[in-house]
Amino acid sequence: MIKSHSDLVLEITAHDADTVENDLNAAVEIVRQHAMQEGRHGILVTQHGHTRYTVAVSPDVPFGQTHERRELGQRET
């Protein structure tokens, strides 16, 4: 499931690998369109747990690039 927090931040929650991959690819493409229109920032994909990710336009990422990071904290139920 892709949940929009804004035009520039999408949250992905999925419980199987195929859905994670498909939803992440779709979310990156949506966010990429916004990043290209803006022309200043890149895309940051963050893994928050085994089933939750965010994809966002980020000023911390150079334009034209996509970075990934992990912020694995508490266990998910």
Q: Domain-by-domain residue ranges, the chain?
A: 2-70
Note the pLDDT tens digit of each residue in 10-44: 999 999 999 999 999 999 999 999 999 989 999 99
Arithmetic mean of pLDDT over the chain: 89
- Concatenated DSSP letters for the chain? -EEEEETTEEEEE-SSHHHHHHHHHHHHHHHHHHHHHH-SEEEEEEE-SSSEEEEEEEEEEETT-EEEEE---SPP-
> So what's the pLDDT on residue 8?
81
> So what's the pLDDT on residue 74?
58
Q: What global pTM score does this model have? A: 0.84
